[in-house]
Chain A
Amino acid sequence: MSARDRILAKLHAAPVLPKAAPDIAAWYQTHRGTESIVEKTDRFRSCIEFAHAEVHAVSPGSWLDKLAEVLAAKQIGKLLVAPRTAHGASAIAGLAQGGIECRGYDSPIEDWKDEMFHAIPASLTSARCAIAETGTLVLWPDEHEPRLMSLVPPVHIVLLDVATIHNTFYEAMQSEGWANGLPTNALLISGPSKTADIQVTLAYGAHGPKELVVLLVGEEA
């Protein structure tokens, strides 16, 4: 008998009475009201700012200018982008005249891992949606906008459409049908990397991005 069979046999041998399924929908119905886009945006913003993210309200027409401004303020001259995405292509086209070099994530990481870890000061990605209750960005990395973009560069800049903000994590996964298909690595991000492991003193920039910048698209710029 394999370890698998032995473990399962022991568990099957236990006298277990089935328990009723938890009613999760009912709990969220009574405990989390729905809010308007403006209310959700405000809640999202205050939560993620509390977690030390930098948030800028932009419009579909102005986000590139704000992006250039943010990079200039941080004295960043190079930005990692996903060239096969619409926002990545816009960044490549729009930032060139400002003297910002856009590095495209266009080949497998094995070809340029060293550069990724040592020579990329910032990255730009989109968020699939967000969660107001906790100030959380949802990223859905894919072949065009891979996982490490939101992790290795010290500054991570995220585009978020305010119309995609959900009230709760539960609402996000229910209304978008996550159970029917998740990507290789779905991510919830709620601020820059941090730790309180030394004497419960909060320090930012532990292993992931030291700074998280959110460009909230749709709010008045």
Chain B
Amino acid sequence: MSEHAMNFMPAEGFRARAKDVVENPFLRQSFRGAMDFLINKRITQFPDAEELETLRTLGEQIRQYNLGKLPALLVQLEENLTRNGIQVHWAETPDEANAIILGICQAHSAKLMVKGKSMVSEEIELNHACAAVGIEAMESDMGEYIVQLAGEKPSHIIMPAIHKTKEEIARLFNEKVPGVDYTDNVDELIQIGRKILREKFLVADIGLSGVNFAVAETGTLCLVENEGNGRLSTTAPPVHIAITGIEKIVEKLDHVPPLLSLLTRSATGQNISTYFNMISGPRKAGEKDGPGEVHLVLLDNGRSQAYADEQLRKTLQCIRCGACMNHCPVYTRIGGHAYGTTYPGPIGKIISPHMLGLEATSTMATASSLCGACGEVCPVKIPIPDLLMRLREESFTAPHANPAMRGQGAGYSRLMTSVWKGWAAVYRSPALYGIATWLGSRFNWLMPSRQGAWTSVRVPLKPAPKRLRDMLKERGE
């Protein structure tokens, strides 16, 4: 499956991938339709604007309070999980995380892993790591299962297969699943998936999941889902491995209800998800089911870099609801794959540079009109537009000592910087500005008739023969 691995140089090929989607009316329709649906569902969940505002403020306070105590909370979480019988592992990099997980699998001679939905497992490319050592990693979330069958990646963090029509999925099942006839009836397609995956849950050696909230005071891992595959992955196999970023932690159990409410209402417009699964240990003596072993892998992968800077730390407030991408005019037009990163859309633009370095992601923050929709809907008030501006600065200013980010200055160009410096000088000085516009209007015939992408669909830009100030002057006389 390695041919499907992203090259992880999202800055390369971004324009070409975006263009492909923009020119594909079917994909455009899939994304537009789905995003409109999710936007409307969210609105119906927040009929009271005042309640929404105070709840968002509370959510922000909860996340900032917990990030303020992050190292102490991680130690407390580790103590309490260990006391509950859950084994805790730490990984700085994706490679370390994969090695830990494969080590656990191999200790159990595992052949089959069933996976509940986990974006962190996508982040570390766990499926490829498993395949390389002969372990089958099977996605069980319906959307993830479809995407895996197609040999693709999720295009949305909540709705992984949103880029596919039911007809495409029908053809995919018909081609890839033995004995399945073509049907584009959604209920029938889901029942096909259910039947196949049930047999996998029955025999899987390892169940893997993500974590939505890890509660330090009780040593509890919380999972949000609708399908039941998360519960099956964490209950049916003999071993459960959970993986999470180090930021998904709350100190108190009572921090969970407001965040859960914000998460499900913002994500899919549900007042609550069908299941909220709170795991506080492996099977105890006398209990008749549940895994005998539970592991948690805590992954850094660049998060500590974001943590080190007060402004960038706000990136870590994220509870992964996806509302920012649902409301993003850029995401809606280019879809999730164009970004070339595990996390697409506005949240992807602000978190990916910490994971992959600015060398690989220097242009991501420029794929934004700074309209501000993402910041307005964020349930924990991450100032995403401000962070995009900050990341542009980190990318495009000249490399300097002690940078806040890996790859600072990766997008720096001396020519571009000089041009903008000149532009700034002209706009700061009335005299220079007067001269520049006078020259522009007198020599407007010098403007080229072909002006790159602009003239591919528009008439050339040309300064007016008379400046506004000249016309006003004439009128005044």
A199 touches B186 (CB 8 A): yes
B308 to chain A, nearest CB (A): 4
B68 interface neighbour in A16, A170, A179, A193, Cβ under 8 Å: A16
B22 to chain A, nearest CB (A): 21
Interface segment among A18-26, A91-99, A157-165: the answer is A18-26
B274 touches A208 (CB 8 A): yes
A151 interface neighbour in B71, B146, B235, B283, Cβ under 8 Å: B235
Interface segment among A66-74, A120-128, A182-190, A213-221: the answer is A182-190
Q: Which of B246-287 contact A (CB under 8 A)?
A: 246, 252-258, 260-261, 268, 271-284, 286-287
Q: Does A15 contact B (CB under 8 A)?
A: yes
Binary contact track A137-149/B, C-beta < 8 Å → 1, others 0: 0000011001110
> Could you count the A-B residue pairs with CB atoms below 8 Å apart for me: how many are there?
258
Interface segment among B118-126, B220-228, B338-346, B349-357: the answer is B220-228
B54 touches A27 (CB 8 A): yes
Interface segment among A33-41, A56-64, A106-114: the answer is A106-114
A206 touches B190 (CB 8 A): yes
B310 touches A15 (CB 8 A): yes
User: Given the interface contacts A19-B64, A195-B142, does A151 sit within 8 Å of B260 by beta carbon?
Assistant: no
B34 interface neighbour in A186, A190, A191, A200, Cβ under 8 Å: A200
Q: Does A88 contact B (CB under 8 A)?
A: no
Tell me the complex Cα distance, A71–B226, Å. 25
A18 touches B68 (CB 8 A): yes
A196 touches B273 (CB 8 A): no
Q: Does B194 contact A (CB under 8 A)?
A: yes
A186 to chain B, nearest CB (A): 4
Q: Which of B19-50 contact A (CB under 8 A)?
A: 30, 33-34, 37-38
Question: Which residue of B161, B276, B308 has the most chain A CB atoms within 10 A of its CB atom?
Answer: B276
A7 interface neighbour in B55, B141, B286, B300, Cβ under 8 Å: B300
B280 to chain A, nearest CB (A): 4
Residue of B with least CB distance to A105: B288
Tell me the complex Cα distance, A178–B252, Å. 11
A10 interface neighbour in B197, B220, B304, Cβ under 8 Å: B304
A169 touches B61 (CB 8 A): no
User: Given the interface contacts A11-B71, A21-B65, A109-B288, does A197 sit within 8 Å of B161 by beta carbon?
Assistant: yes
Binary contact track B69-95/A, C-beta < 8 Å → 1, others 0: 111001100000000000000111000
User: Given the interface contacts A143-B286, A173-B254, does A189 sit within 8 Å of B220 by beta carbon?
Assistant: no
List residues of chain B with CB within 8 A of the CB of A113.
202, 236
Q: Does A211 contact B (CB under 8 A)?
A: no
B197 interface neighbour in A7, A14, A185, A207, Cβ under 8 Å: A207
Tell me the complex Cα distance, A147–B281, Å. 13
User: Given the interface contacts A136-B272, A173-B254, does A148 sit within 8 Å of B236 by beta carbon?
Assistant: yes
B62 touches A22 (CB 8 A): yes
Residue of B with least CB distance to A6: B92
A205 touches B246 (CB 8 A): no
Binary contact track A170-184/B, C-beta < 8 Å → 1, others 0: 100110001100111
A199 touches B187 (CB 8 A): no
Tell me the complex Cα distance, A148–B220, Å. 19
B47 to chain A, nearest CB (A): 13
Q: Number of contacting residues on B, CB 8 A?
A: 100
Q: Does A86 contact B (CB under 8 A)?
A: no
Residue of B with least CB distance to A114: B202
B202 touches A198 (CB 8 A): no
Q: Number of contacting residues on A, CB 8 A?
A: 77
A201 touches B186 (CB 8 A): yes
B187 interface neighbour in A2, A10, A20, A203, Cβ under 8 Å: A203
B37 to chain A, nearest CB (A): 5
Tell me the complex Cα distance, A11–B75, Å. 12
Q: Does B442 contact A (CB under 8 A)?
A: no
Residue of A with least CB distance to B116: A207
List residues of chain A with CB within 8 A of the CB of B277.
185, 187-188
Residue of A with least CB distance to B224: A188
B58 touches A24 (CB 8 A): yes
A11 touches B304 (CB 8 A): yes
B274 touches A193 (CB 8 A): yes
Residue of A with least CB distance to B251: A21
Tell me the complex Cα distance, A142–B283, Å. 10
B142 touches A208 (CB 8 A): no
Tell me the complex Cα distance, A19–B143, Å. 39
A208 touches B227 (CB 8 A): yes
Tell me the complex Cα distance, A168–B271, Å. 12
A188 touches B272 (CB 8 A): yes
List residues of chain B with CB within 8 A of the CB of A199.
30, 34, 164-166, 186
B246 touches A207 (CB 8 A): no
Please, could you name 17 A-B residue pairs with CB atoms under 8 Å apart, sorted by A? A14-B308, A18-B68, A24-B255, A105-B288, A146-B287, A148-B289, A178-B253, A179-B254, A182-B220, A187-B231, A189-B274, A195-B227, A199-B34, A199-B186, A206-B226, A207-B194, A209-B228
**A-B contact sample (8 more), CB < 8 A, given A47-B271, A206-B228:** A7-B298, A10-B307, A22-B61, A184-B287, A199-B186, A205-B194, A206-B226, A207-B140
5 nearest CB pairs, A to B: A208-B228, A197-B143, A188-B276, A206-B227, A207-B228
